[in-house]
C-alpha cells in the first residue's frame, strides 16, 4: 500500500499512521491511536520499574586492630545485609603508620571471608586503594536454600 493510501485510510478511521520498522524495505506501519499507544507504553514501563529489584551496597569499616567483639558485631550486620540481598563492602582503614602492617588488614578480611563463606561469595577480591583495603561480598544464590531450617520429619509412633 502506498503511503498516501495509508494516510488517507488512517484519517478516515480517525486514527494515526505509526511507523513501526523504518529500516525495513518497504517500511512497516500500523494504523492505531497514538495517544492510547503512548499511555500503554508508560503503564508497561511503570510496571517494569515496580518489579525491578535494586541492589544496594552496604559498607562495613574495620581497622587492622579491630577487637574481637567489635568484629563479631559487624559480622552479624554483614550477615543480615547479605540475607536481605544486599552486597557488602568491607573496608579496612589504615591510620598513620598502620599502613606498614598491610598483612594485619588482610588477616581481618580473611577472617571475615571465613565467617561469611556460607552466605556470600567474593564479588571483588581484596585490593589496596590508598590508605584502605577493600573487599566486596555478594549474596550467594545457592546458600539461601541451605540456610533455611529443614522441616521436622515425622517420627514413627511407638506402641
The arithmetic mean of pLDDT across residues 61-80, rounded, is 93
* Domains along the sequence of the chain with CATH: 1-35 (3.10.20.80), 57-142 (3.30.110.10)
pLDDT-derived band at 80, boundaries 50, 70, 90? very high
Q: 53 near 67, Cβ under 8 Å?
A: no
The arithmetic mean of pLDDT across residues 39-51, rounded, is 89
Give, rounded to a whole angstrom, the gap between the first and last alpha carbons of the chain: 86
pLDDT for residue 1:
80
The arithmetic mean of pLDDT across residues 12-22, rounded, is 87
The arithmetic mean of pLDDT across residues 93-116, rounded, is 92
pLDDT for residue 159:
56
CA-only gyration radius of the chain, Å: 29
Name the percent of the chain lying above pLDDT 90. Answer: 42
Q: How far, in Å, are 6, 31, 34, 35, 97 from residue 11 at the CA level?
A: 9, 9, 13, 15, 79
C-alpha cell at 6: 495509508
Q: How far, in Å, are 52, 108, 124, 154 from residue 65 at the CA level?
A: 40, 8, 23, 49
Where do the H-state alpha helices sit in the chain?
3-13, 34-50, 68-83, 102-116, 143-147
> Is residue 149 pLDDT above 80, yes or no?
no
**pLDDT tens by residue, 107-140:** 999 999 999 989 889 988 999 989 999 999 999 8
With b for 16 or more beta-carbon neighbours within 10 A and e for fewer, the 87-107 pattern comes to bbbbbbebeeebeeeeebbbe
Amino acid at each position: 500500500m502506498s503511503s498516501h493510501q495509508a494516510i488517507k485510510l488512517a484519517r478516515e478511521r480517525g486514527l494515526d499512521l505509526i511507523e513501526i520498522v523504518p529500516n525495513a524495505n518497504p517500511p512497516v506501519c500500523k494504523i492505531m491511536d497514538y495517544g492510547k499507544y503512548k499511555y500503554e507504553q508508560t503503564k508497561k514501563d511503570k510496571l517494569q520499574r515496580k518489579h525491578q529489584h535494586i541492589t544496594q551496597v552496604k559498607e562495613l569499616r574495620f581497622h587492622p586492630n579491630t577487637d574481637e567483639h567489635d568484629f563479631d558485631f559487624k559480622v552479624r550486620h554483614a550477615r543480615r545485609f547479605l540475607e536481605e540481598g544486599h552486597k557488602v563492602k568491607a573496608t579496612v582503614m589504615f591510620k598513620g603508620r598502620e599502613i606498614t602492617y598491610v598483612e594485619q588488614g588482610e588477616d581481618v578480611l580473611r577472617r571475615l571471608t571465613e565467617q561469611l563463606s556460607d552466605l556470600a561469595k567474593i564479588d571483588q577480591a581484596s585490593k589496596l586503594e590508598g590508605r584502605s583495603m577493600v573487599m566486596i561480598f555478594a549474596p550467594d544464590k545457592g546458600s539461601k536454600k541451605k540456610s533455611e531450617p529443614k522441616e521436622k520429619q515425622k517420627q514413627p509412633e511407638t506402641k
